[in-house]
Structure 1
Amino acid sequence: MKTHQIEVQKFKAASTNQYGQLMFKVDALVTAKTPVDGIEPSSFIVMTEANARVLMALLKTQFADIDSKKPKSRHGRPG
């Protein structure tokens, strides 16, 4: 497995596809990362607080869009 450090520079867009996956268009700096011996290799995503706040807003919007497309639940109705 290759490991990378992914530094998000800017979030440009967010969307969902027909498989229910969230997709984000980003500008990012991607550099190879040497795994540390004895530790499971992992990639890291790094972003500023401002970009993290943009990500949160994009996620909220995408979840609202997904939820609006789901059929209304009949659970919890009296009767």
Structure 2
Amino acid sequence: MKTHQIEIQKFKAASTNQHGQILFKVDALVTPKTPIDGIEPSSVIVMTEQNARVLMALLKAQIAEFDSKKPKSRHGRHG
């Protein structure tokens, strides 16, 4: 497996697809990362606090979109 450091410069957009996935359009710097001996190789995502706050807002909006598309439960409602 190749490992990378992915530095988020800017979140540009978020959307959902028919497969239940959230997609983010980003500007990012992607550089190869050499695994450190004895540590499982992993890619790393790096972002500023400001970008982390943008990510949180985008996630909340996309999860709300998922929730709005789910059928409403009719159990437990008495008319």
TM-score by length of 2: 0.94
Is 1:10 aligned with 2:19? no
**What is the one-letter code of the residue matched to 1:44?**
V
* 3-state SS of 2:50 partner: helix
For 1:24, the aligned partner's letter is F
Distance 1:40 1:76, change over 3 A: farther
Q: How does 1:17-32 map to 2 (within 5 A)?
A: 17-32=17-32
5+ long unaligned stretches in structure 2? none
Q: CA deviation at 1:75?
A: 3.7
**Counterpart residue number, 1:57:** 57
How far apart, in 2, do the equivalents of 1:20 and 1:28 lie?
Answer: 24
The count of residues paired between Structure 1 and Structure 2 equals: 79
Report sequence identity in percent: 84
Instruction: Please list every run of at least 4 consecutive aligned residues from structure 1 whose deviation after the TM superposition is greater than 3 angstroms.
Output: 75-79
Write out aligned runs for 1:34-53 (5 A): 34-53=34-53
